[in-house]
Amino acid sequence: MAKNKPSTLVMKFGGTSVGTPNAMTQTVANIRASQASWERIVVVTSALSGVTNLLVESTERAIQGDEVFISQAETELMGKHWQLAEKLISSPAQQAQIKQEIKHLVAEFGSLCRAISILGEATPRALDAVVSLGERLSVRILAGALQSAGSPAQFIETTHLIVTDDCFQGAHPDLKRTEQNIQKIIEPLLAQGEIPVLTGFLGATEAGITTTLGRGGSDYSAAIIGATLPADEVWIWTDVTGVMTADPRIVSQARTIPEVSYREMAELSYFGAKVLHPKAVRPVVEAGIPVRVCNTFAPAEEGTRVLRDDRAAQKPKNGTQSIVKAVTAIQRQRLITVEGRGMLGVPGVAARTFGAVAATGTSVPLITQASSEQSISFSVPSDSAEAVLASLHAAFTDELAKRDIDRLWASDDVAIVTAVGNGLQETPGVAGQIFSALGAAKLNVYAIAQGSSAVAISLIVAAKDAEKAVQTLHHFITS
Ligand code: ASP
Ligand code: MG
């Protein structure tokens, strides 16, 4: 980085970092503390904790015509946001102004939900109009709170900033367009020494229709902003200290991982570690910008740094770090198997299998194929298994009739347990050690997927064995 370029930090706050007066006070303090070491700060915020869920539930109730629920939700939204504004915004005029804006946004919520209730249905576009309200509410209060604390801040709805396609509920950003908007809108604010406070989660189509980036999308927003500014670092503030070696509810010795590579992080998010949204990793990876995951309520702790693969691949300084860095589990999966002697050497069976799965809108976290080509197994979320089986039966009616495919079936509930660590696959003997340990613990492994990623080994175990498998593999980290 050139010396004369001012240092720029993007700080993103999750719902629990802004959800209560105490949390938001802490967040304001954390932002102000960062001003000492960073010349320019851009803030991205989620909705207050619980608000997006309430908005989603309201749309569902509205479709059923439940107007009582809508009224209750209005009261709850008003109460939560007004209380925060009253506690955090000291100037009476500004507080009154923001409370007025909250009232208008909540009225917008009520109108939208009542329209949905009359229609008895909601398009994805209508859903985005409702669920994006959470961030439109929170951003005003956080910017106001910063001003009350003495930091010049300006809230911005990212409908003016993040340009997306029209895949409502899971829109894709146009980074070029977004970058132009950032130059136009954010740079001048930064130049004036202001802290722009941006809504996470939402954007708009070229025509200006509000979209959202998918649930948990505020991290993605922060990454998009970080990559396009570009920022020097992106810090994701949450309510746990970084990325942990395992879910501490399952493994009591779980601890924070100081550094993970982007690839490890992507695997961890993909395989169930809820700290960072997988998509969020991508734009910053490509821009080579480091990400740090920190705890709003323990800001002095280092948290976890997500580094570029080449930097993270360097040997740990103390030499004691294990090759396995983290163990995760995804529960409530079922293993689907397509099996038949007639599949041997027949091209296109896999393509048709996954075509049939895709037709149900189900994504597949894990695939294995026996080398004999006589069976393909893959996991899907348990709730989708019946629909996937039906779709497969329809796709392979002829093959089933001719017995080219003998069997098409779903297992009982299973879990995918994944060990993540750079070099897991290059290090001889690791897989063997993992299987010995599982064997010694009397845990049966139904399927394995190793080839897909150089930094992870995934195993399918019975649902009831998942916790024990995670604990067993965690020994590789602590011993
Ligand atoms: N508020 C949105 C959600 O809960 C986005 C986010 O928090 O990341 O999904
Ligand atoms: Mg969130």
**Domain ranges, ordered by start, for the chain:** 8-239, 326-478
Which atom of ligand 1 lies nearest, measured to the CA of 135? 1
Give Cα 130 to chain centroid, integer Å.
20
Q: How confident is the model at residue 312 (pLDDT cuts 50, 70, 90)?
A: low
Q: How confident is the model at residue 317 (pLDDT cuts 50, 70, 90)?
A: very low
Which atom of ligand 1 lies nearest, measured to the CA of 219? 8
- Give which of 164, 200, 201 is closest to 181, Cα–Cα: 164
Mean per-residue pLDDT, 244-264? 89
State yes or no: pLDDT of 242 exceeds 90. Answer: no
Cα angle for residues 251, 254, 256 (degrees, 5° grid): 155
State yes or no: pLDDT of 89 exceeds 60. Answer: yes
Q: Is the C-beta atom of 230 inside 6 A of ligand 1?
A: no
Q: Which amino acid is at 289?
A: I
Does residue 135 contact residue 218 with C-beta atoms inside 8 Å? Answer: yes
* Architecture in CATH for domain 326-478: 2-Layer Sandwich (3.30)
Q: Is the C-beta atom of 200 inside 6 A of ligand 1?
A: yes
CA dist., res. 258 & res. 100, Å (int): 44
Backbone angles phi, psi at 370, to 5 degrees: -65, 145
CA dist., res. 11 & res. 471, Å (int): 33
Q: How far is the CA of 277 from the centre of ligand 2 (A)?
A: 9
State yes or no: pLDDT of 321 exceeds 70. Answer: no
Quick one: pLDDT at residue 1? 47
pLDDT tens-place string over residues 419-428: 998 878 777 7
Q: Is the C-beta atom of 15 inside 6 A of ligand 1?
A: yes
State yes or no: pLDDT of 314 exceeds 60. Answer: no
Question: Hey, do 8-239 and 326-478 end up sharing a CATH topology, with the first three levels equal?
Answer: no
Beta-strand pair 326-339/407-420: antiparallel
pLDDT tens-place string over residues 116-157: 999 999 999 999 999 999 999 999 999 999 999 999 999 999
- Give which of 327, 142, 172, 163 is closest to 237, Cα–Cα: 142
CA dist., res. 92 & res. 308, Å (int): 47
Mean per-residue pLDDT, 55-77? 98
Q: Atom 6 in ligand 1: which residue has the minimum CA distance?
A: 216
CA dist., res. 225 & res. 238, Å (int): 18
First-to-final CA distance of the chain: 40
Q: How far is the CA of 237 from the centre of ligand 1 (A)?
A: 13
Q: How confident is the model at residue 350 (pLDDT cuts 50, 70, 90)?
A: confident
State yes or no: pLDDT of 319 exceeds 50. Answer: no
Q: Is the C-beta atom of 201 inside 6 A of ligand 1?
A: yes
State yes or no: pLDDT of 74 exceeds 80. Answer: yes
Place of tokens 């649930």: 215
What tokens appear for 327 in the block?
A: 């163990």
Spell out the residues 6+ positions from residue 110 whose beta carbon is closer than 8 angstroms to its own.
Answer: 70, 71, 74
Cα angle for residues 148, 11, 14 (degrees, 5° grid): 85
Please spell the DSSP secondary structure of 146-209, one letter per residue. HHHTT--EEEE-GGGT-BB-S-TTS--B-HHHHHHHHHHHHHHHHHTT-EEEEESSEEE-TT--
Cα angle for residues 341, 344, 346 (degrees, 5° grid): 125
Per-residue b or e along 262-298, where b marks 16 or more CB atoms closer than 10 Å to that residue's CB: bbbbbbbbbbbbebbbbbbbbbbbebebbbbbbbbbe
Least confident of 179-188, 308-317, 366-375, 395-404: 308-317
Ligand in nearest proximity to the CA of 169: 1
State yes or no: pLDDT of 397 exceeds 60. Answer: yes
pLDDT tens-place string over residues 426-450: 777 888 888 899 999 999 998 888 6
State yes or no: pLDDT of 452 exceeds 70. Answer: no
Does residue 98 contact residue 85 with C-beta atoms inside 8 Å? Answer: yes
Quick one: pLDDT at residue 375? 87
Q: Which CATH number describes the domain made up of 8-239?
A: 3.40.1160.10
pLDDT, averaged across the chain: 91
Quick one: pLDDT at residue 423? 76
Q: How far is the CA of 204 from the centre of ligand 1 (A)?
A: 16
Place of tokens 């779980």: 254
Cα dihedral sign, 107-111-117-122: negative
Q: Is the C-beta atom of 110 inside 6 A of ligand 1?
A: no
Half-sphere exposure of 129 (CA within 13 A, CB side): 16
Q: How far is the CA of 47 from the centre of ligand 1 (A)?
A: 6
Spell out the residues 6+ positions from residue 394 whose beta carbon is closer than 8 angstroms to its own.
Answer: 356
Quick one: pLDDT at residue 313? 52
pLDDT tens-place string over residues 41-57: 999 999 999 999 999 99
Q: Is the C-beta atom of 218 inside 6 A of ligand 1?
A: yes
Beta-strand pair 304-307/375-381: unpaired
Q: Atom 5 in ligand 1: which residue has the minimum CA distance?
A: 216
Angle between helices 51-63 and 124-131 (to 10 degrees): 140
- Give which of 291, 328, 327, 329 is closest to 312, Cα–Cα: 291
| pTM for the whole structure | 0.82
Mean per-residue pLDDT, 287-308? 90
- Count, residues in the chain: 479
Does residue 308 contact residue 288 with C-beta atoms inside 8 Å? Answer: yes
Q: How far is the CA of 276 from the centre of ligand 2 (A)?
A: 10
Quick one: pLDDT at residue 2? 47
* pLDDT: which is higher, 80 or 261: 80
Per-residue b or e along 316-347, where b marks 16 or more CB atoms closer than 10 Å to that residue's CB: eeeeebebbbbbbbbeebbbbbbebeebeeee
Q: How far is the CA of 387 from the centre of ligand 2 (A)?
A: 29
CA dist., res. 282 & res. 279, Å (int): 6
